[in-house]
Structure 1
Amino acid sequence: MSAVVARRVAAVCGVFVGDAAAQPLHWIYDQKKLDDIIGGKEEVEFWPTSHNPFYTLNTGQNSGYGDQPYVILKSLVENKGLNITALNKATVDFFGPGTEYDNPNRPGEKPIQGRWLHKSLMDFLQNHKEGKPETGSADKSADCCIRMVPVVALYAGQADMLERVRQVVQVTQNDELLMAAALTGARILENFILNGNNPSAVEDVITELSKPTRKSPTDLDEKMVECLKQVLEAKECPHTEVAVKFGRNCYVPGNLQTSLHAITTNDNFQSAVRSTIKAGGCNSSRAGYIGACTAAKYGLEAVPDSWKTKTDRYQEVLKLAQELVKISL
């Protein structure tokens, strides 16, 4: 297996490990409450009991963020590449009526027992049910940064990679700012997959986004350049403070900025994911993207074996990732 192929596999596995690691402490916006739960411990990953104020899952399971690239990964492997019609069906089959996400507990007292259906997926299901040609939601949550990971892992280095990402994101989310952030995040992940531990990956993407001849341009690329520069300017600041500054919520571009700060200020997979778990808020979405980038950056061997073991579907997604990279493009 070549180094680039190994990094493709690592990126896919990293997104699921990162997301699962954060899931029990997901969506805690009261920093004092989170600090009291953690009690100064360094090993905050895979917390043994859920303290999520919205939903309760077993430790080791993926959140609603991590389940989305799982569906996309399986669809890519089963169809030997991107097939939007098949992906639409797979998304309905996994998140729609009669599934674990069709949760009767949702209207009840929080936290609910079981899975939490995200706004973008609710809108997708409704749009799909109504037969609308465009099924994407206007929701600006960071689902987009997680969904694109298997797509980038497969198509990195291909001329149509960004357009493939755009197609996949548009299935459930279709907003101009969100798309600009998703494509920016995809460019950075691609850089790590192709180049490994490149300390200037963010700077490289700034340069790329500034070119008139760049691929898949958006009208908000200039805004994304400013967002990336803000991340670099905040390198000396503690991650938790930066998360507050950029926003600990689910929305891009702040969510992406906070993720990139963890990626650029930590020198290993563990510390990057741990730092963003401790920062609270929507840390599962961030930990998933951070996990993908840092696994690609440092290699799958940088992901601790104990973390892999604690991720329920790790062996399954590892096999799927190995099948993914065999697809001929």
Structure 2
Amino acid sequence: MTDNRIKAAVIGAFVADALSLGVHWVYNTDVIDKKLGRVEHYYDPMTSYHTGKKAGDFTHYGDQMMVLLESMSGSGFDANRFADMWRTFFADYGGYFDKATKTTLKNMDAGKDLTESASDSDDLAGASRLAALVSVYHGNLEQLVGAARAQTRITHNNDRGLSSADFFARTVFAVLGGQPPQAALQATLDTHFSDSSIASLITMGLESRDRDTRETIAEFGQMCSVEAGLPGAVHLISRYADDFKTAMVENVMAGGDSSARGMIAGMVLGAAHGMVAIPEAWQTGMTASQRISALLDQL
């Protein structure tokens, strides 16, 4: 394991979100083709969901992953600290508030414990933030898994969402340990998730690795749910196990909730191939690039 690949796991997730911003939640892929062609650069958002955002910014998913990264500065993950910083962040946020965020904030404002206020949303987005944790827990599997589940539970207290965080935490740990991405996915399924609520979704993704990405993700569903997003993320990792850039571009071109799928795939493929696999323009073009680098240096 090298520091380079640990960093790439985190940066890979952030650039995936930034690349998604331009067409996030555009479900008609013909519109993407006509408006932008092949999306290989950062663009201002096409939809009104992310009004005020500019090319190189994050969606509200990436913004929350940034809060998670900042919450660990100096002392690792603490659920109460993350929940408090997350709540403060949204107090004057100008971006999009999804249903899980609104529900969680409402519960917090009603006086519920900050770590017990989550929605029951089954969106993949809660789990997709976990790459930030790799910067601290890359050497301890149980701590990584525990933190991945705990940070997800702050906003998305749903069995399949928590299992997704667990699954991808174990997968990225295996990849950092030297296993190829596809082998890591299969081994994690076989050893820990063969009887789980997400087993069939993982298998669907693995079995689709030789199929066209846009058609496959359309079949799985372009939506935000674990049911649609998890097999889509597994497909991207499996099909483009040796090609970070193509995985990220094909993810965006498939439309829908490309951010959650991409953050997970970007984390795993970044861990596999290191910073050299991530286009320099994507790294430097992120609005928060210098801040992320400074935080990673601290951690």
What is the TM-score of this pair, normalised by structure 1? 0.84
Partner residue of 2:211 out of 237, 242, 258: 237
The number of equivalent residue pairs is 294
- Is 1:71 the counterpart of 2:67? The answer is yes
Q: What is the CA distance between 1:157 and its match in structure 2?
A: 4.0
Partner of 1:252 in structure 2?
226
Partner of 1:286 in structure 2?
261
Q: What is the CA distance between 1:199 and its match in structure 2?
A: 3.9
Partner of 2:131 in structure 1?
149
Partner of 2:9 in structure 1?
11
State how far apart, in whole Å, the 2-side matches of 1:251 and 1:152 are: 23
Q: What is the CA distance between 1:35 and its match in structure 2?
A: 2.2
Partner of 2:54 in structure 1?
58
Contact persistence 2:122–2:158 (CA under 8 A): yes
State how far apart, in whole Å, the 2-side matches of 1:210 and 1:26 are: 30
Partner residue of 1:45 out of 35, 38, 41: 41
- The residue matched to 2:41 in structure 1 has which SS? coil
State how far apart, in whole Å, the 1-side matches of 2:251 and 2:208 are: 15
- The residue matched to 1:60 in structure 2 has which SS? coil
Contact persistence 1:145–1:256 (CA under 8 A): no
Residues 262-295 of structure 1 show CA distances to partners (whole Å, capped at 9, x for unaligned) of: 1111122110000010000011222222221111
In structure 2, the gaps of 5 or more residues are none
Say which one has the larger Rg. Answer: 1
> Sequence identity of aligned pairs in percent?
25
State how far apart, in whole Å, the 1-side matches of 2:151 and 2:34 are: 39
Partner of 1:36 in structure 2?
34
Residues 132-179 of structure 1 show CA distances to partners (whole Å, capped at 9, x for unaligned) of: 131111111122232211124422342332122221111111011221
Contact persistence 1:152–1:165 (CA under 8 A): no
- Is 1:90 the counterpart of 2:85? The answer is yes
Partner of 1:118 in structure 2?
98
Partner of 1:180 in structure 2?
163
Cα RMSD of the aligned pairs, angstroms, is: 1.8
Residues 241-275 of structure 1 show CA distances to partners (whole Å, capped at 9, x for unaligned) of: 11011111111032021012111111221100000
Partner of 1:22 in structure 2?
20
Aligned CA distance change for structure 1 residues 35 and 305 (closer, same or farther; 3 Å): same
State how far apart, in whole Å, the 2-side matches of 1:176 and 1:196 are: 27
Partner residue of 2:277 out of 280, 302, 308: 302
Q: What is the CA distance between 1:6 and its match in structure 2?
A: 2.6
Q: How does 1:214-225 map to 2 (within 5 A)?
A: 221-225=195-199
Q: What is the CA distance between 1:210 and its match in structure 2?
A: 4.9
State how far apart, in whole Å, the 2-side matches of 1:198 and 1:154 are: 21
State how far apart, in whole Å, the 1-side matches of 2:192 and 2:261 are: 22
What is the TM-score of this pair, normalised by structure 2? 0.92
- The residue matched to 1:195 in structure 2 has which SS? coil
In structure 1, the gaps of 5 or more residues are 102-114, 212-220, 325-329
Partner of 2:293 in structure 1?
318
